């Protein structure tokens, strides 16, 4: 077996392949190390979504005037990172395909770091708007780069756990941002995001994605990276063999330089298979339910909504924290119920409610 030692990380070679502990402990910790960097960025993403909800009212209160942040500017500050994410949704997949998964993630961490430095040093709503625009890359990575990293760097047996924690971490970030802005100065959110962005730079110590290496014909490096991440057990070796074989077939087809109509036919055949359109439609249904339920609206404007209902600023802040705490608690309950009920049953109950 090929051996590998990535700089900065102490690895322990697996000698006894009959020991389940030695087979799983090392790979799990290595995958946890990689996914931990992604989790940290998801936490920062939560801070990004939660920050406008508290810094806008605080700036107005400190200035004793709503003109400090106009209604139009407040609307832009709460939503601009979504618009700023649109070009990155197109750019990040190109970077990910060309340079791998590691390099774009490091660029993302550096951009996030600079964005929150601008956020901390801001003295006007215009500078805050610039920092929010810079976070568009962070928001865009949620739908492109980060999911790819979690999927390609983790074993199927751990992937579900890692994905569940990822979602929970995001809402913890929203809640922490709200709590920080409630009990201290809003610029402390930037300090927390700055520290998290620094921690995410442990990505320099990651290996490159085995899938990307195989896709580029670098099969020896692919095997080294795959075994470092997932170990040498039978399940991991079967996964590696399947990955290399599928990519060899793909590269072979590319070398044949098929005609454009043949490629188009192959694409059409792919997107019309049940294995493609069924997961796609299911994912779109779940995401539509999530977004159209109004959850993000409540997250971004909870203080304003509750304040209009209760005419009490203190009640609005308390209600905001309770609302996000209930979200986190409900996610934990849902995660536990997955152990006792099928996903389809859980989904049907949610839609009925």
Residue 44 tokens read as 């920062």
Residue 7 · residue 14 · CB < 8 Å: no
Give the separation between CA 296 and CA 289, rounded to whole angstroms. 12
What pLDDT is attached to residue 349?
58
3-class state of residue 218 by DSSP: coil
What pLDDT is attached to residue 264?
76
Task: Please say whether the dihedral angle defined by the alpha carbons of residues 15, 20, 23 and 26, taken in this order, is positive or negative.
Answer: negative
Residue 127 · residue 118 · CB < 8 Å: yes
Residue 137 · residue 112 · CB < 8 Å: yes
For 8: left if phi > 0, alpha if psi spans -120 to 50, otherwise beta; the answer is: left
Residue 123 tokens read as 């003295």
Architecture of the domain made up of 20-206+293-352: Up-down Bundle (1.20)
Residue with tokens 């442990």: 202
Query: What are the mean pLDDT values of the chain's consecutive 10-residue runs (353 residues total)?
Result: 42 37 72 95 95 92 87 91 93 94 96 96 93 95 92 90 88 94 94 95 95 93 94 90 89 69 75 82 80 77 86 87 86 71 61 55
What pLDDT is attached to residue 197?
94
What DSSP letter does each residue of 129-194 carry, written as one string? HHHHHHTHHHHHHHTTHHHHHHHHHS-HHHHHHHHHHHHHHHHHHHHHHHHHHHHS-TTHHHHHHH
What pLDDT is attached to residue 353?
55
What pLDDT is attached to residue 259?
57
Scanning the chain, the segments in alpha helix (DSSP H) are 20-63, 71-99, 102-121, 125-134, 136-142, 145-153, 156-183, 188-200, 210-215, 219-230, 234-255, 260-271, 274-292, 295-310, 313-337, 343-352
Packing angle, helices 145-153 and 20-63, rounded to 10: 160
Residue 320 · residue 57 · CB < 8 Å: no
318: nearest Cα among 305, 300, 306:
306
Residue 250 CA to chain centroid, in angstroms?
28
């Amino acid at each position: 077996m090929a051996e590998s030692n990535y700089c900065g990380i102490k690895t322990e070679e697996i000698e006894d392949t009959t020991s389940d502990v030695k087979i799983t402990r090392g790979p799990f910790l290595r995958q946890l190390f990689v996914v931990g960097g992604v989790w940290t960025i998801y936490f920062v993403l939560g801070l990004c979504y939660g920050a406008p909800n508290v810094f806008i009212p605080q700036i107005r209160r400190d200035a004793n005037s709503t003109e400090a942040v106009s209604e139009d500017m407040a609307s832009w500050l709460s939503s601009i990172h979504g618009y700023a994410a649109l070009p990155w949704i197109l750019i990040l997949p190109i970077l990910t395909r060309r340079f791998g998964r590691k390099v774009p993630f490091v660029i993302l961490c550096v951009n996030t770091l600079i964005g929150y430095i601008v956020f901390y040093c801001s003295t006007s709503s215009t500078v805050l708007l610039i920092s929010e625009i810079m976070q568009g890359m962070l928001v865009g990575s949620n739908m492109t780069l980060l999911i790819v990293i979690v999927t390609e760097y983790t074993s199927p047996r751990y992937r579900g756990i890692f994905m569940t924690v990822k979602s929970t971490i995001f809402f913890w970030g929203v809640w922490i941002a709200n709590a920080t802005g409630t009990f201290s100065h809003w610029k402390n959110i930037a300090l927390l995001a700055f520290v998290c962005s620094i921690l995410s730079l442990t990505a320099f110590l990651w290996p490159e994605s085995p899938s990307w290496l195989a896709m580029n014909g670098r099969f020896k490096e692919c095997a080294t990276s795959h075994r470092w991440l997932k170990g040498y057990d039978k399940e991991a070796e079967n996964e590696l063999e399947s990955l290399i074989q599928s990519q060899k077939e793909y590269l072979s087809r590319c070398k044949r330089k098929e005609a454009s109509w043949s490629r188009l036919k192959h694409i059409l055949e792919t997107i019309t298979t049940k294995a493609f359109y069924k997961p796609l439609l299911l994912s779109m249904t779940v995401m539509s339910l999530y977004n159209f339920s109004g959850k993000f609206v409540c997250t971004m404007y909870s203080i304003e909504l509750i304040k209009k209902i209760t005419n009490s600023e203190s009640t609005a802040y308390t209600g905001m924290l309770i609302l996000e705490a209930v979200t986190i608690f409900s996610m934990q309950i849902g995660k536990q119920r997955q152990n006792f009920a099928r996903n389809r049953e859980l989904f049907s109950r949610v839609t009925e409610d």
